[in-house]
Structure 1
Amino acid sequence: MKLSQATTMLDAAHDEARRRGVRVCISILDAQAWPMAFIRMDGAPLGVIDVANRKARTAVLFQMDSADFARIGHPAGEAYMLEHTNGGLTSFGGGVVLRAADGGMLGGIGVSGASTQDDIDIARIAAATLVA
């Protein structure tokens, strides 16, 4: 992933969060789960910094959206407690896998600070800029 792609996604996510009137943290990681871009909106709680990073990390390391990861990581799921591996993951929505047009892995985006559905929607809107 190029820095220009990461900043375009960051801007799109930030704009959507402002439009919705929510304060979030947005974390974008490359395909090796290293940071590319990050923003903490004014007023976003400090605790969601780590959550946004873990959502993006979960998406990258397991190559699935964190909402999908939640289906296997919950107490009745087939991989309960998996979120405690790899230095800490998260098992709720807001982390989205970022893929190139050919399906290749580019990285992940994590959004945290609003409702789970808003976090997911904001992340997907940002991810959509990759193919725009």
Structure 2
Amino acid sequence: MNSKAVLSQAEVGQIIKAARAEAQANQWAVTIVVVDDGGHPLALERLDGCAPSSAYIATEKARTSALGRRESKSYEDMVNSGRYAFLSAPVLTSLEGGVPIVFDGQVIGAIGVSGVKPEQDAQVAKAGAQCLE
């Protein structure tokens, strides 16, 4: 039988804290969502001044990254490269800002961020995802 790490609330708190610090250092109002490896929400934090719709978008970015085992940007890149069939794929969003959380070579969850430019969302998400390394 295989075994793998799972995110506890302690790690989820660390991830949120690292992502929040990155967003606040840049004065970006974002929503940060952490999900488990099945895409189920473990935590959501919407910073002051962030649009309510970002909570939905950040969740879908995280879920897409967890289920796809890759950054959500890769799906956006596929569509932008002309693979329009991916618009009907069972991923939930093809927007940049979802990043898998990898531990010991396995995806154990993901983080999604929404509220600023796509590359800024990804920057915040990566700060959170990489804090456990």
Indicate if the aligned counterparts of 1:74 and 1:91 stay in contact, CA closer than 8 A: no
| TM-score when normalising by structure 2 | 0.89
Counterpart in the other structure of 1:32 = 38
Q: Secondary structure at the match of 1:76?
A: coil
Deviation at 1:73, TM superposition (A): 3.4
1:96 correspondence with 2:99:
yes
Deviation at 1:124, TM superposition (A): 0.6
Deviation at 1:105, TM superposition (A): 1.5
Aligned sequence identity (%): 30
| TM-score when normalising by structure 1 | 0.89
Letter of the structure 2 residue corresponding to residue 6 of structure 1: V
5+ long unaligned stretches in structure 1: none
Q: How many residues align?
A: 127
Letter of the structure 2 residue corresponding to residue 62 of structure 1: G
Counterpart in the other structure of 2:12 = 6
Letter of the structure 1 residue corresponding to residue 102 of structure 2: R
Q: Secondary structure at the match of 1:38?
A: strand
The CA deviation string for residues 59-112 of structure 1, in whole angstroms up to 9 with x for no partner, is 0111110111212234821633135x36xx111210001110x21121110000
Indicate if the aligned counterparts of 1:28 and 1:56 stay in contact, CA closer than 8 A: yes
Letter of the structure 2 residue corresponding to residue 128 of structure 1: Q
For residues 39 and 94 of structure 1, the distance between their equivalents in structure 2, rounded to whole angstroms, comes to: 15
Deviation at 1:32, TM superposition (A): 1.4
Deviation at 1:44, TM superposition (A): 0.4
5+ long unaligned stretches in structure 2: 1-6
What's the RMSD between the two structures over aligned residues?
Answer: 1.5
